[in-house]
Amino acid sequence: MWVLLGVLVVVVGFAARQNPLSIVVVAALVTGVAAVIAPGVTPAVLLAGAGETLAVLGKGFKDNRYISVTWMILPLIGLLEREGLQERARVLIQKLAGLTSGLLLLIYLIIRQVTAAFGLTSLGGHAQMVRPLIAPMAEAAAETQAPGLTDASRNRVKAFAAATDNIGLFFGEDIFMAIASILLIKGFLETNGIIVTPFALSVWAIPTAIAALLIHGTRLLLLDRALNREAAR
């Protein structure tokens, strides 16, 4: 039961509003040391437990250090936004006559789903694609459709841009048989005696992806109708 002290450290640390990373590291060390507590235990054994815990943390960081590489793109996006990326995206869309907000998002939905189906899930995303490019472009198209766009409609267009990325990724990635969600489903079914192959699961994800495309595509076209009605007032 001593190992539950790590849980106590987490609860107390978050209640005291301390740094989350520090809380997790301290909780891991406490758990590692508590795991070797026994009658007659020596300080050397306790230190050995702490050392083994640090070794496990270090190995986990080394083996998964590539994950932190993705954060390097965030400063680049911030620099591009500072230099006028969103403004240039707006100007580009305003030059394309006939491109509506709903049509733009529908095109992005198709691209997002198709690329996710091939395992290219990192080609989109809220931070690297929606906020700096897709949302400003959709907003610019909406302003062309309905001059004097209200704040409520503007926020609705932004929400649709974020939702389009979510739906395209969520229903597209399951078609790729090597994605983590497919492997999770396969493992869960096998533990319950149901043997399936990843390919079979990915094939059955295709009808769902098509339905998601049709349903959300219809919602995007209805968004265009709502913006056109606002422009006619």
**Domain shared by 26 and 136, yes or no:** no
Nearest Cα neighbor of 104 from 142, 155, 143 is 142
**Domain shared by 131 and 199, yes or no:** yes
**Domain shared by 28 and 89, yes or no:** no
**Domain shared by 78 and 54, yes or no:** no
**Domain shared by 105 and 46, yes or no:** no
Predicted local distance difference test score (pLDDT) of residue 54? 76
**Residue 42 in tokens:** 């020596």
Give the span between the Cα atoms of 59 and 202, in whole angstroms. Answer: 33
Residue 52 class from Cβ within 10 Å (0-12 exposed, 13-18 middle, 19+ buried)?
A: middle
Choose the final residue of a domain: 31, 63, 95: 63
Domain membership flag for residue 186: yes
Give the span between the Cα atoms of 212 and 209, in whole angstroms. Answer: 5
Domain membership flag for residue 68: no
**Domain shared by 125 and 27, yes or no:** no
**Domain shared by 48 and 134, yes or no:** no
Residue 136 class from Cβ within 10 Å (0-12 exposed, 13-18 middle, 19+ buried)?
A: buried
Output the tens digit of pLDDT for each of the chain's 233 residues: 777 788 888 889 888 888 887 888 888 888 877 777 666 667 777 677 777 777 777 776 666 665 566 666 667 667 766 767 667 777 777 677 678 889 999 999 999 999 999 888 888 888 888 888 888 888 888 888 888 888 888 899 999 999 999 999 999 988 887 777 777 778 888 888 888 888 888 888 899 999 999 999 999 999 999 988 887 77
**Domain shared by 224 and 195, yes or no:** yes
Predicted local distance difference test score (pLDDT) of residue 124? 84
Q: Are the C-beta atoms of 154 and 226 separated by less than 8 Å?
A: no
**Domain shared by 142 and 228, yes or no:** yes
Helices (H) and strands (E) in the chain, counts: 10, 0
**Domain shared by 115 and 190, yes or no:** yes
Predicted local distance difference test score (pLDDT) of residue 73? 67
Is-above-0.85 flag for pTM? Answer: no
DSSP line for 199-212: HHHHHHHHHHHHHH
Domain membership flag for residue 34: yes
Predicted local distance difference test score (pLDDT) of residue 70? 60
Domain membership flag for residue 114: yes
Predicted local distance difference test score (pLDDT) of residue 20? 82
Q: How many domains does the chain have?
A: 2
* CA distances in angstroms from 148 to 3, 93, 116, 153, 224, listed in the order given: 61, 17, 36, 10, 15
**Domain shared by 193 and 213, yes or no:** yes
Q: Which residues contact 88 (CB under 8 A, 6 or more apart)?
A: none
**Domain shared by 138 and 32, yes or no:** no
Q: Are the C-beta atoms of 5 and 30 separated by less than 8 Å?
A: yes
Q: Are the C-beta atoms of 84 and 136 separated by less than 8 Å?
A: no
Range of the domain at 224: 73-232
**Residue 199 in tokens:** 């390919």
Domain membership flag for residue 161: yes
Choose the final residue of a domain: 63, 84, 100: 63
Domain membership flag for residue 177: yes
